């Protein structure tokens, strides 16, 4: 979530995104809580799910590691390592299999040179630098009223973060689509369990939509603040 510089009338721009973010967080928490209590008929753990699907797609070279935290699961394209949280790694639930398959979806995207993923990964170093410097320039532009160009530079840098959030959404949706398809084809989830897995991943996707909405809203607010300070 992108937090406001200060409270003023432009805060109204952020309210819809704030509401969506709170709704998305509640949705993912509720879905994870529900589907982490429902065991799959196949009895596969998240680790077994990931390993089976990886091997079935010729990705036996991708390692699976245990990582601390809750919902901290991710695929690292730099090291070709898929990291699963404890509950997902050892869990035999709808949530565990769905999340593990989703992360495998990213590994398959990487192996297939999926263009949106390549583009997002190429933005990482730029975003890491720009997101930190953006606020320095924005605050400097607000403090030094005679130098509005500093604010503009900060807004341009912040735009890199917005672009990153926007491109993340189709990448995540594609990974979830791959996950559901593979869970069905492998039989790890039965036909009656597939809708539950889809609901789990749809709830997760909502958090990425909220993040994109928050970034866009903050950018619009920054543009409004810039125009105000340039008058």
Q: For residue 217, what is the DSSP state?
A: H
Contacts with 66 (C-beta within 8 Å, 6 or more apart), sequence order: 83, 84, 85, 86, 89
CB 95 within 8 A of CB 32: yes
What residues contact residue 115 under an 8 Å CB cut-off, 6+ apart?
none
Q: Is 103 an annotated catalytic residue?
A: yes
Listed in sequence order, the residues at least 6 apart from 168 whose beta carbon sits closer than 8 Å to its beta carbon are: 120, 208, 211, 212
Crossing angle of the two packed helices 148-186 and 194-230, in degrees rounded to 10: 170
Of 65, 103, 172, 185, the active-site residue reads: 103
Active site residues: 103
């Amino acid at each position: 979530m992108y937090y406001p510089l200060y409270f003023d009338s432009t805060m109204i721009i952020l309210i819809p995104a704030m509401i969506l973010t709170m709704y998305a967080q509640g949705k993912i928490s509720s879905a994870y809580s529900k589907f982490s209590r429902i065991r799959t008929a196949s009895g596969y753990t998240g680790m077994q799910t990931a390993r089976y699907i990886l091997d079935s797609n010729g990705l036996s070279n991708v390692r699976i590691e245990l990582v601390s935290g809750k919902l901290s699961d991710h695929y690292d394209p730099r090291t070709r390592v898929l990291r699963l949280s404890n509950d997902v790694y050892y869990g035999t639930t709808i949530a565990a299999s769905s999340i593990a398959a989703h992360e495998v979806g990213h590994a398959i995207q990487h192996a297939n040179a999926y263009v949106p993923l390549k583009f997002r990964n190429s933005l990482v170093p730029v975003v890491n630098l720009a997101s930190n410097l953006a606020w320095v320039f924005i605050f400097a532009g607000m403090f030094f009223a005679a130098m509005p160009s500093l604010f503009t530079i900060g807004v341009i840098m912040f735009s890199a973060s917005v672009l990153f959030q926007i491109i993340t959404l189709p990448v995540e949706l594609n990974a979830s689509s791959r996950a559901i398809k593979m869970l069905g084809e492998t039989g790890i989830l039965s036909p009656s369990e597939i809708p539950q897995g889809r609901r789990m991943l749809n709830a997760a996707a909502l958090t990425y939509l909220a993040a994109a909405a928050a970034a866009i809203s903050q950018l619009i607010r920054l543009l409004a603040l810039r125009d105000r300070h340039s008058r």
